[in-house]
A and B are shown apart, each in its own frame.
Chain A
Amino acid sequence: MRLDAKIPEGPLQDKWSAYKRTAKLVNPANRKKLEVIIIGTGLAGSSVAASLGEMGYNVSSFCFQDTPRRAHSVAAQGGVNAAKNYKNDGDSIYRMFADTIKGGDFRSREANVYRMAECSVNLIDQAVAQGVPFGREYGGYLNNRSFGGVQVSRTFYSRGQTGQQLLLGAYQALMRQVGKGTVKLYARHEMLDVVLIDGKARGVIVRNLDTGEIERHAAHAVVLATGGYGKIYFLSTLAMGCNGSAIWRAHKKGSLMASPSWIQIHPTSLPQSGDYQSKLTLMSESLRNDGRIWVPLKANDPRKPNDIPEEERDYYLERRYPAFGNLAPRDISSRAAKERIDAGFGIGPLKNAVYLDFARSIQEQGQEKIREKYGNLFEMYLKITGYDAYQEPMMISPSAHFSMGGLWVDYELMTTIPGLFALGEANFADHGANRLGANSLLQASVDGYFIAPYTISNYLADEVKTGKISTQHPAFQEAEDQVRSQIRQLIDIKGNRTVDDYHRTLGKILYEYCGLARTEQGLKLAIEQIGALRQDFYKNVSVPGNGDQMNSELEKAGRVADYLELGELMCYDAFTRNESCGAHFREEYQTADGEARRNDAEFQFISAWEWNGKNAAPILHKEPLIFETIKPTVRSYK
């Protein structure tokens, strides 16, 4: 299979305008005849549904939550980047593009990244117009803060709830269209398969999670905006319902999966404290603007943090990366934390954490200023741990967070199945091997508001004469039968292990062998262990109740069944990439001082995997990465 990213010709800065100039259009009168299904209502899903609805397309929007406003974009804390240069500190679209390419360790497409930076400017305008209360200065102008991996302040924020406020803006735009009748909303519906007719995406099979009914929905195009799959590690910063099932089922129908092993392990989450835990709460990266990360110089130091004098502390990020210090990018900060923890310097009851200390900032700026910036995060920390971070340092630890990998998409955000688009975290596109902070809200938003409306229109322009798609087509019957038989299979096993038990076990395997550090040997072992776990799952999992009713365990079982396949692909992906880049750190490939060693000669490509059936190894396709503007260099933050 030849992967054509369809990147427009011409200079980098003109590519997107060139695309828009020549993209095909659909006459307003024809738009209501064209149906689009959108799965997911996070920032990408809500914004594209609202935008297409405003244009006059006939849109159906689905989410598994009880209302679109709960999608996990809501939990993003720190902010959203935009190259507005309001701080007059040398920012520009080019600078943002370059930071993102470097942040991703030269493993993303130049054209996509440049477009994201270009559209960032419009996003802030759009959100402000919707009433998103971004932080302001006293003169009434918008304020910014800094995030990891950059030396300018380009991050817009709403205290520590930026994701919530951006999502509510998009949700309100969506609900406005629902009120107008251009968008039909199906909450508590989960997509279980994509339906292909003559090779094109023509609809979906969904399950009504309240009644258990299986429904068919047809459309001229299907958009997956279903977020990331970091929850595969069980313990993660993600919501309990976050899953990879929509993209995985699309993958099994023919969409290639790109770089699945590139998972961001976030450096500042709350540490694990026991086996009963269901998630690890994130503490925003923005805290690293004013918090200093350290561990005691002495291993197993029994003293309380405030009793350890300054000279007996190791501010290891400031020590190793003086130029960026505590704002070193996430992959590097997480790995540096792991290095200290593994070397025996970890703190906390399980010795699995590091300190994030605000004492100096509180001393310099006053407690009130710190409260204004991060008040809700300090409160959250107090609620969960019972400790007051104004009085003593926070304890933090790395946790699975964001999937840079996802469905392979071309410049139009279309997967290898014609008519099937993937937006936001569900695709692989813009972050390379490591995402910079505050770029995920941005990518989801620009995909949905500013990119997909053009590219989907370009696709739909050729569908005007197609006419209504019938759900009576045999392809719908076949997909529905398959979905029903999978549900029956899961329920009929009636074993003796819970779904969560399998999920936890899978998570442990992945943290151990396909997490912050990977080795050839470990990945081999992981592939074997996951295969064995999957076999065990189909023999011994226990799913109570039946499929004709609300059944949360059945929902989870379907998702874990998919994770048990996706996890194996992640290990294949990590196994075949004999280099270290961004979040993918293969221990065999490191420099003398423990930094990632990339191999551009052999691995300057995107791995795009093809499903090859249940009992066969996946097939690897390569999309070479061509750097015309930026020359890949050794990524240094020292």
Chain B
Amino acid sequence: MKLHLKIWRQKDADSEGKLADYTIDNINPHMSFLEMLDHLNETLILTGGDPVEFDHDCREGICGQCGVMINGIAHGPLKNITTCQLHMREFKDGENILIEPFRTEAFPVRKDLKVDRSAFDRIISSGGFISVNTGQAPEANTTRVTHQITEAAFDAATCIGCGACVATCKNGSAVLFTAAKIAQLSILPQGQEERATRVVNMIQQMDEEGFGHCSNTEACQVECPQGISVLHIARMNYEYNRVRLLKR
């Protein structure tokens, strides 16, 4: 396969970026999207060019480190996958592909396609946990959790923190990420003690990081590689309003 790539190049967070054109040949349709970028980089290195920086690690869709906008879509055209799981068989010979970083105010570009998503860490740090020190835990089976509750908690907990939801949201909102963690911990019996403080603190931190508000377009759910449901956002809003009502 032959492809025409337009890739966002940016030296560092303070520099201006621009799109650069590359044409590459000999792309095997079974290559993953990131292997295609590896191939481009090897070619660039051997011809004295500057390889493209992009984030990646596990290359099996679970670490959440990879992620680019491909023709304007987070993680590319297929549903429920990360960029590393996308394969070149989804593209046509001679196709033009536009590759950009996950753009949003709260994710400054570090270089080329790499962005800084540490805002997510600070949201978790503000309350995305159950406060239990090592050694404090009771015998595991004393906390009974029904099959249904566990499965529901798991569905929320499966978030990989890639940021596709934010990148795809026209408001640059991080509510799907934040809500998934709030939902997981607020429906489990172990998470009840901190249910009120958690939702308040996490939402406050999310706002401080410069993420936008949610206007219910549900685009985040469409692009989420883990298929996290927007119903968690409803749960987050419920938890938040519950705290406000109880305060009165």
Contact = CB atoms under 8 A, between A and B. Distances in A.
Q: Do A and B actually bind?
A: yes
B136 A140 contact: no
Interface in A47-82: 47, 50-51, 54, 65-70, 72, 74-75
A127 B80 CA distance: 28
A240 B59 contact: yes
Contacts of A74: 58, 62-64
Interface string B72-112: 00000010110001010100000000000000000000110
Nearest to B150: A136
B21 interface: no
B12 interface: yes
B136 A276 contact: no
A278 B87 contact: no
B146 A386 contact: no
Nearest to A494: B48
Nearest to A159: B154
B147 A553 contact: no
Given A51-B134, A175-B121, A498-B45, A128 B190 contact: yes
Contacts of B157: 131, 133, 158, 165, 168
Q: Determine the interface band of chain B, counting residues with CB < 8 A from chain A.
A: 35 or more
B118 A125 contact: no
A285 to B, nearest CB: 15
Interface in A153-208: 158-159, 161, 164-165, 168, 171-173, 175-176, 178-179, 185, 187
Interface in B130-180: 130-141, 143-147, 150-151, 153-154, 157-158, 160-161
A544 interface: yes
A140 B87 CA distance: 40
A17 to B, nearest CB: 15
B30 interface: yes
Given A67-B121, A130-B129, A75 B12 contact: no
A449 B131 CA distance: 15
Nearest to B225: A383
B125 interface: yes
Contacts of B50: 544-545
Interface in A126-148: 126-131, 133-142
A134 B150 contact: yes
Nearest to B158: A161
A552 interface: yes
A226 interface: no
Main secondary structure of the interface of B (DSSP, over half): loop
A467 to B, nearest CB: 28
A99 interface: no
B196 interface: no
A500 B190 CA distance: 46
Interface string A224-238: 000000000000000
Most buried by B among A47, A67, A545: A67
Nearest to B141: A141
A394 B121 CA distance: 37
B53 interface: yes
A239 interface: yes
Given A125-B140, A158-B154, A138 B63 contact: no
Contacts of B58: 70, 72, 74-75, 239-240
26 contacts: A65-B63, A70-B65, A74-B62, A74-B64, A125-B139, A128-B137, A130-B130, A131-B185, A131-B188, A133-B145, A133-B157, A136-B147, A138-B146, A161-B62, A175-B121, A175-B128, A176-B125, A178-B121, A187-B121, A274-B30, A276-B35, A276-B39, A383-B81, A384-B32, A500-B42, A550-B53
Given A172-B124, A542-B45, 19 more contacts: A54-B134, A66-B117, A66-B118, A69-B121, A75-B63, A84-B141, A133-B188, A136-B147, A138-B146, A140-B145, A172-B130, A173-B129, A210-B110, A240-B59, A276-B31, A282-B60, A544-B45, A552-B53, A553-B51
Interface of A: 47, 50-51, 54, 65-70, 72, 74-75, 84, 86, 122, 124-131, 133-142, 158-159, 161, 164-165, 168, 171-173, 175-176, 178-179, 185, 187, 210, 239-241, 273-274, 276-279, 281-282, 379-380, 383-384, 386, 449-450, 453, 496, 498, 500-501, 542, 544-545, 549-550, 552-553
